[in-house]
Amino acid sequence: MESINNLRSLGRTQLKVTPIGLGCWQFSKQKNMAGKFWPTLEDDLIDKVVSLSLEGGINWFDTAEVYGNGASEKALSKALQAAGKKPGEIIIATKWWPMFRFASNIPKTIDERSKFLSPYPIDLYQVHQPWGFSSEVSEMKAMAELLNRKLIKNIGVSNFSAQQMKKSWETLDNIGIPLATNQVSYNLLNRKIESNGVMEMAKKLGISIIAYSPLAQGLVTGKFHDNPELLKNIGLRKYSSQFKPNGLEKSRPVVMLIKELASKYNVTPSQIALNWLINYHGETVVAIPGATKENHVKENAGAMSFRLSDEDMIRLEKESAVFK
């Protein structure tokens, strides 16, 4: 298959990333509430997941302060060093956690972020949620201060509504800084950003969408539809309506089409789902699937090695439109 692993600019910045990056929430080592979502991964496996991602052509990694209170950041830095990567050879995105905090906390905690990720610079620093005690305006001004002090290179947001994203963009635009990204939940079984204005606003303002949970926590692969017994061992996910019998029936037609196309292109269902995400909206969307097994990494990277036909992308769009 032809390789279509072209680099894309994040928003209107100079930052160039592969359409698929690696989400690193699963490196949290169960250190805090956010970390409890995943089993503890041993360092050897984390190192392997990172090195295989690099081998597959992935050039960027997304982590966050709240992923184990920095445990994920530390594990990522260690794994990149083990892989022999020098600062500047790869791209790192991390996030500031705003809950119960003011914007003044952004400059106070940047030294810790930099220390945990050392020797690698922070290429993209994101406000993780719109839940802080300060306004988007104050948060963006604090972010801009970090950028001007050369402590970070680019600014993004995460889970922001269309209006919150626009306000953030305007604040930065007034001082000549582009807002690079909005990181949101987006996949074939959750297309709400196409109906709530986020996608439209992102395209209008030239902001990239970073899709997290791009495989709907495994649902798009069809493994839970084929074998409902697996639902017993998936932790907190089983309480989500999508994993209940009615939810599985609602997504079954989409999953059937994904499987049909996987067979047609001789790839896996997850690769079909990822390929649609990173291509259907041109270059607007990049995705950050996670990985806890070696074969996950190879599948993630392999999703960049082909391209669905326009006709097949439209079939998937129509079948999954019920999830907008």
**Helix extents (H) in the chain:** 43-55, 71-82, 105-117, 136-148, 162-173, 198-205, 223-226, 245-265, 269-280, 294-302, 310-320
17: CATH: 3.20.20.100
pLDDT in tens, 164-183: 999 999 999 999 999 999 99
Say if CB 283 and CB 248 are below 8 A apart. no
pLDDT in tens, 86-126: 999 999 999 999 999 999 999 999 999 999 999 999 999 99
Q: Checking DSSP bridges between strand 91-96 and strand 208-212, what pairing results, if any? A: unpaired
Instruction: Find the domain containing 145 and state its range.
Output: 8-215+269-309
Q: Is the pLDDT of residue 4 over 90?
A: no
Q: Is 225 a member of any domain?
A: no
CA 160 – CA 274 distance, rounded (Å): 22
Q: Is 158 a member of any domain?
A: yes
Q: Is 22 a member of any domain?
A: yes
Task: Identify the DSSP state of 149.
Answer: T
Report which of residues 37 and 171 the model is more confident about: 171
Task: Report the domain count for the chain.
Answer: 1
Q: Is 43 a member of any domain?
A: yes
pTM listed for this prediction: 0.95
Q: Is 128 a member of any domain?
A: yes
Q: Is 304 a member of any domain?
A: yes
Task: Identify the DSSP state of 41.
Answer: P
pLDDT in tens, 171-222: 999 999 999 999 999 999 999 999 999 999 999 999 999 999 999 989 999 9
Q: Is 318 a member of any domain?
A: no
Q: Is 242 a member of any domain?
A: no
Phi, psi of 268 (to 5 degrees): -95, 160
Angle, CA of 19, 314 and 301, to the nearest 5°: 25
